[in-house]
Amino acid sequence: MTAIKHALQRDIFTPNDERLLSIVNVCKAGKKKRNCFLCATVTTERPVQVNVVKVKKSDKGDFYKRQTAWALRDLAVVDAKDAVKENPEFDLHFDKVYKWVASSTAEKNTFISCIWKLNQRYLRKKIDFVNVSAQLLEESVPSGENQSVAGGDEEAVDEYQELNAREEQDIEIMMEGCEYAISNAEAFAEKLSRELQVLDGANIQSIMASEKQVNILMTLLDEALKEVDQIELKLSSYEEMLQSVKEQMDQISESNHLIHLSNTNNVKLLSEIEFLVNHMDLAKGHIKALQEGDLASSRGIEACTNAADALLQCMNVGLRPGHDMLYAVKQQQQRFSDLREQFARRLASHLNNVFVQQGHDQSSTLAQHSIELTLPNHHPFHRDLLRYAKLMEWLKSTDYGKYEGLTKNYMDYLSRLYEREIKDFFEVAKIKMTGTTKEGKKFGLHGSSGKLTGSTSSLNKLSVQSSGNRRSQSSSLLDMGNMSASDLDVADRTKFDKIFEQVLSELEPLCLAEQDFISKFFKLQQHQSMGTTTNEADEMDGGTLSRSHNSGVPQAISSEKDMIRQMMIKIFRCIEPELNNLIALGDKIDSFNSLYMLVKMSHHVWTAQNVDPASFLSTTLGNVLVTVKRNFDKCISNQIKQMEEVKISKKSKVGILTFVAEFEEFAALAESIFKNAERRGDLDKAYIKLIRSVFINVEKVANESQKTPRDVVMMENFHRIFATLSRLKISCLEAEKKEAKQKYTDHLQSYVIYSLGQPLEKLNHFFEGVEARVAQGIREEEVSYQLAFNKQELRKVIKEYPGKEVKKGLDNLYKKVDKHLCEEENLLQVVWHSMQDEFIRQYKHFEGLIARCYPGSGVTMEFTIQDILDYCSSIAQSH
């Protein structure tokens, strides 16, 4: 190791003006064993810089190179890992922690000792040496701190002592006095030795001469010791005197402490008494209000409210430790409990009487509202009860049992009251829908409650009485109990729409007002969940709210919003069945009323959901909307069913089918009702179902028709469908409109070709033969040389069709078409014009064949195109 140390000093540190003081062979902990050296160095120039340098062997040779250097002032901690057992591992904490493993524990200890010495000498900094043996550090410190740092410490580090400036100056003066000091070192050393001997002798003589002075000094010291003994005796007497004074002062201090402690206790006791008096003393006026306050007047209610709040504050005061052990406190708490119980009982009894009186007062106004389609206004009752809202909040927090009982009683009384009002209201609505009470019985209304029996006999009566107003057709679009939409005029439907809207408009504010009142009066949050546990609350059964079995506090319900909804369901339990009965009546009167009801109900559901999607009104109207939508779907299904079951007469012409006309009526009505409606999508789906059924069943009837040609049935009905869709401009049926137009056009052309047939039959057969010869390969100009198709045969055939015969044939054709077509659709002139065009096309075709196959023959038809136009015009005008 010494050789390596000298080599490193020579090759690495001397060129950098540094001295190597200590070295340790290490490798990094936990990695591959790649050895390197950690060196502790100081610079030779001032100010001295102390560094820790990492040196490693070069990969390309045997020489060493300097890799990393850290200033010793940056070292924070030296961790030797274990101060007792030998352990070669140690950590140096610079900017980060460097973990090393020394080749031996001795090298590690030597290096750490050197670091400690350099820190003490140059840095004067307290580097933390952790897990380092105290013995290792003590060995580095001889006796006296300053001396060890100045002298001996340096000898332990190295046997070289650096000269200070004065020593350098003295040596230079000495060497100047001996010019041969450099050239003859032995002579110089011998001279110095002689001078040192002379100095030693002088020192001995000086010591011997000072012996007398030493004896004098010893005498003086003995005298000083005697004086010290006398002083000690005086101090002992003084101490005894002071001890007596100390005991007296201790007694005085203890007495003062007891006095101070007594005063402190008195202050604290007064503070506690003032606290109890200020917070647990209820004014006599409040006590009187709780015991005798008038709960019927506004002033009495206000006084009771203030007294109840004061009582609640006294009962909820936060007592300090030990207060509840005081007899006076217990007595006051018992008094408060009695007052609370007494007032809660009096308040609950009074409010129950108010609920009962409300039922009687409202019953007297029912006769007035039964004449008009309006519901009684409960605002005055709500206004009077809201004066007790703060007292209800107090009751809820102090006596939940009575609060729960009041809630149940309120629901019981109000549910019966609302049931009477709503049933009478719906009876008036049903009477107005059907005209009079007598007429209402025809639709299944019986008794004062206005309930629908829904019996089969009432349906039969309805269908029999409405059948006199039906069109005399072999089949109807709607089944028994559902009258055709065309049988009732617009006024009746408008009347039903207004009545149904009035019913919903009356119910909506009634429910919203009651829900708002319940929220304010019973102190329930409408728009914020108040659940305190994850367990769902039990639903109210028979109007009784859930409550805890142990403390009387209600079980945590999912939200107070759910409690409001449950109360509303109990109070307005008759609304949904009454609405369903009214909807059933409207559907029996006219199945198309389901369109009005679907639009109105959808709008009110949408409005309610915007206010509160989970409210009672929103949920109830949503349930009823399902029924309305079901009736609407049933109406559509019945129409489709009637289309499928339609039968036509075998003896009369078909004309416009009843379900096509009724689809037109349905679409026109639906478009007027669903204009800007929220449920437009439901109507569009119904349109698709209906129009596809119309298309299928028109074709089915056309195939079954015996009296009227299939093309005429298809042409006329699809012409009507196309006209209807074009007029109403239903966006979802654009494809069906194009399809209807195409079917109309195709069947018009097919009927024209079929009906026109071959008006010049023999001539047509003649030219078919000509075209057959040409198709076989005979040139057109050579056809006239064929025996069966020469010019004489052509003239013979043409002479059989003079203009008079052609006109007669066209006249017969016009009469035939007139018999096939119905007057309702008025397509005769359209068909006749198409036949005229088709006849002219055939005429031009024959002329073209004559010109190509018989050129120069001079053969022409007996009539011209102008003659055809005149014949057709004359025939049309004559009919």
Supply the CATH number for residue 60's domain.
Answer: 2.30.29.90
Judge whether residue 779 has pLDDT over 50.
Answer: yes
Q: Which of 828, 834, 838 is nearest to 877 (CA)?
A: 828
Q: Are residues 32 and 109 in the same domain?
A: yes
In this prediction, residue 23 has a pLDDT band, given cuts at 50, 70 and 90, of very high
Give the end of a domain, one of 247, 264, 280: 280
Decide if 261 is inside a domain: yes
DSSP 788: G
Decide if 862 is inside a domain: yes
Report angle CA 706, 710, 714 to the nearest 5 degrees: 135
Give the end of a domain, one of 280, 295, 313: 280
Widest CA span in the chain = 192
Q: Are residues 14 and 105 in the same domain?
A: yes
pLDDT in tens, 668-710: 888 888 887 777 888 889 989 999 999 999 888 888 887 888 8
Judge whether residue 219 has pLDDT over 70.
Answer: yes
Decide if 821 is inside a domain: yes
Q: Are residues 99 and 61 in the same domain?
A: yes
CA distance 13 to 30: 30
Decide if 523 is inside a domain: no
In this prediction, residue 879 has a pLDDT band, given cuts at 50, 70 and 90, of low
- Pairing, β 77-79 against β 89-93: antiparallel
Lowest pLDDT segment from 271-285, 346-360, 540-554, 794-808? 540-554
Amino acid at 544: T
Write b or e for each residue in 681-713: b if 16 or more Cβ atoms lie within 10 A of its Cβ, otherwise e.
ebbeebbeebbebbbebbbebbeebeebbbbbb
Judge whether residue 53 has pLDDT over 90.
Answer: yes
| φ/ψ of residue 750, rounded to 5 | -65, -45
Decide if 57 is inside a domain: yes
pLDDT of residue 139: 59
Q: Are residues 119 and 228 in the same domain?
A: no
Q: Which domain range does residue 107 map to?
A: 1-136
Decide if 125 is inside a domain: yes
Q: Are residues 131 and 171 in the same domain?
A: no
Judge whether residue 444 has pLDDT over 70.
Answer: no
Q: What is the mean pLDDT of residues 515-539?
A: 59
* Structural domain count of the chain: 3
Percent of the chain with pLDDT over 90: 9
Task: Judge if the upstream peptide bond of residue 802 is cis by omega within 30 degrees of 0.
Answer: no
pLDDT of residue 535: 36
CA distance 603 to 691: 26
Decide if 863 is inside a domain: yes
Q: What does the mean pLDDT of the chain come to?
A: 78
Q: Are residues 7 and 95 in the same domain?
A: yes
Q: Are 94 and 76 in contact (CB under 8 A)?
A: yes
In this prediction, residue 365 has a pLDDT band, given cuts at 50, 70 and 90, of low
Q: Which of 431, 442, 566 is nearest to 503 (CA)?
A: 431
Lowest pLDDT segment from 482-491, 546-555, 796-805? 546-555
Q: Are residues 123 and 227 in the same domain?
A: no
Q: Are residues 39 and 115 in the same domain?
A: yes
CA distance 522 to 462: 48
| φ/ψ of residue 79, rounded to 5 | -110, 110
Q: What is the mean pLDDT of residues 480-499?
A: 62
Q: Are residues 216 and 269 in the same domain?
A: yes
Q: Which of 803, 807, 827, 804 is nearest to 817 (CA)?
A: 827
Residue 557 CB burial class (10 angstroms; 0-12, 13-18, ≥19): buried
Q: Are 570 and 407 in contact (CB under 8 A)?
A: no
- Pairing, β 36-43 against β 18-28: antiparallel
Q: Are 122 and 50 in contact (CB under 8 A)?
A: yes
Residues 6+ apart with CB under 8 A from 484: 470, 471, 476, 477, 478, 662
Give the end of a domain, one of 223, 257, 280: 280
For residue 64, what are the β-bridge partners? 57
Decide if 346 is inside a domain: no
Q: What is the mean pLDDT of residues 316-334?
A: 78
pLDDT of residue 626: 92
Q: Are residues 105 and 192 in the same domain?
A: no
Half-sphere exposure of 604 (CA within 13 A, CB side): 28
Residue 105 in tokens: 């524990």
Q: Are residues 272 and 229 in the same domain?
A: yes
pLDDT in tens, 575-611: 999 999 999 998 888 888 888 888 888 888 888 888 8
The answer, as to whether pTM is greater than 0.95, is: no
In this prediction, residue 231 has a pLDDT band, given cuts at 50, 70 and 90, of very high
Q: Are residues 114 and 171 in the same domain?
A: no
Q: What is the mean pLDDT of residues 329-347?
A: 86
In this prediction, residue 161 has a pLDDT band, given cuts at 50, 70 and 90, of low
Amino acid at 99: K
